[in-house]
Structure 1
Amino acid sequence: MPGEGNATGSRVTLHVVSSLDGFIARKDNNVSWLDVHGSVYESGVSISEEEAASFVKGIDCYVLGSRTYEHALELGWPYGDTPTVAVTGRTWPSTRESVEFYSGDLETLVRAKLAPRYRNIWLVGGAMLCQGFLSLGLVDEIRLTIAPVLLGDGLRLFGGLLTESNWDLRNVVAYKNGFVDLTYAASSV
């Protein structure tokens, strides 16, 4: 059952941005489509830089795969000094004090390493890592942001490796830029 592994009071949130047709990246892992500039959705909300900064401050730890880590470095490291765990089998040079590398069992990572130290853990990609967390029931909450673009092909977040599970809708927010944020909690059913 989703979320069973986090009895310590910590919460693992899977957060990802997807296209309307369910892709999180193009086949070449390119995500330039995230910079979509479409028409303004007048009924949508906007968030100030202060609100966004305050929200991000509440995240205690990020977990990401090696390709997401590589992409974050290319972007100029959007995670600041927040502790970050890059799950990878590759050897990487240490570029930041806040980053540690992990290669091993995901349940051990969450239950033994992260849950005792952090309350608000955000899993931010990639697809294989997210699928691994989901299949092991290590995700308590899914925050799926839908971008107003159809890609037609690419890398899917939810591949064929997952089994059926129920999630409870907790919140929906539509933004002025046309993006929609859906928040689901692991179902207790």
Structure 2
Amino acid sequence: MTFTATVFIGTSLDGYIARLDDDIEWLTSRGEKAGEMGFFEFLDSVDAVIMGRNTYDKVIGFGEENWHYGDRHVGVLSTTLAEDADPRVHVYRTMDDLVTDLDKRGIKHVYPDGGRLVQSFLHAGRVDRFIISVAPVLIGSGHRLFGDLAQDVPLRLDTVADVGGGFAQLSYTVEK
């Protein structure tokens, strides 16, 4: 058994997910005007959330009231986070360990969250779909959603939607 993975993420129009100092205020302040953009409906469709260490630290910084993952499996791919750092998460050291464990658990739909983690999933050929909410702003520099790729990743456009607040939401399927 193998899972599918859908990336649900916000970017600036010029393709950044955070400033170089990891600030995302440019996204969150605009996102407040747009609302949740289908995030909670999407979250209801996944049975595991996997994030990178930086994203985990960001989520923890939002406070307990913003831990929206409920009882679904939450993992953090990190070589530095202590395995017992948070009883709500399972810490994975390698992508291979992560994939093996998710398959053993019978996980069907995964939400990979965080720039470097998404890039790791892409490099491993593990992304099946993208839902990208594009913010109405150019920030000029920062952390890109997509880093260098060894080869093209062909996509099929499924939908384009105006989700409010000036955001466009693009849904793509990865053609494998």
The verdict on a shared fold, with TM-score over 0.5 as the criterion, is: yes
* Structure-2 residue corresponding to 1:97: 87
Q: Following superposition, which runs of at least 4 residues in structure 1 exceed 6 angstroms of deviation?
A: 45-48
- How many Å apart are 1:136 and its aligned residue? 1.6
Distance 2:9 2:150 in 1: 17
Q: Deviations over 1:111-170 (max 9, x none)?
A: x21134211100011x22211211121111112111111111111111224421211111
Taking only the aligned residue pairs, the percentage that are identical comes to 28
State the aligned residue count: 171
Q: For the Cα contact (< 8 Å) 1:9–1:119, is it kept in 2?
A: yes
After superposition, residues 31-180 of structure 1 pair within 5 angstroms as: 31-37=24-30, 53-76=40-63, 77-81=66-70, 82-92=72-82, 94=84, 96-104=86-94, 106-110=95-99, 112-116=100-104, 117-125=106-114, 127-180=115-168
Question: Letter of the aligned partner of 2:12 in structure 1?
Answer: S
Q: For the Cα contact (< 8 Å) 2:30–2:135, is it kept in 1?
A: no
Which of 22, 31, 47 is the matching residue for 1:29? Answer: 22
With the length of structure 2 as denominator, give the TM-score of the two structures: 0.84
- How many Å apart are 1:66 and its aligned residue? 0.3
Question: Letter of the aligned partner of 2:82 in structure 1?
Answer: W
Indicate the structure (1 or 2) with the bigger Cα radius of gyration: 1
Q: For the Cα contact (< 8 Å) 1:62–1:84, is it kept in 2?
A: yes
Query: Structure 1's 136 and 80: CA in aligned 2 closer, same or farther, altered over 3 A?
Result: closer
Q: Deviations over 1:29-88 (max 9, x none)?
A: 1111112349x8xxxx9779xx75444222211111000000000012433323211000
With the length of structure 1 as denominator, give the TM-score of the two structures: 0.79
Question: Letter of the aligned partner of 2:19 in structure 1?
Answer: R
Q: Secondary structure at the match of 1:165?
A: coil
* More displaced stretch, 130-139 vs 23-32: 130-139
Q: Secondary structure at the match of 1:175?
A: strand
Query: Structure 1's 165 and 25: CA in aligned 2 closer, same or farther, altered over 3 A?
Result: same
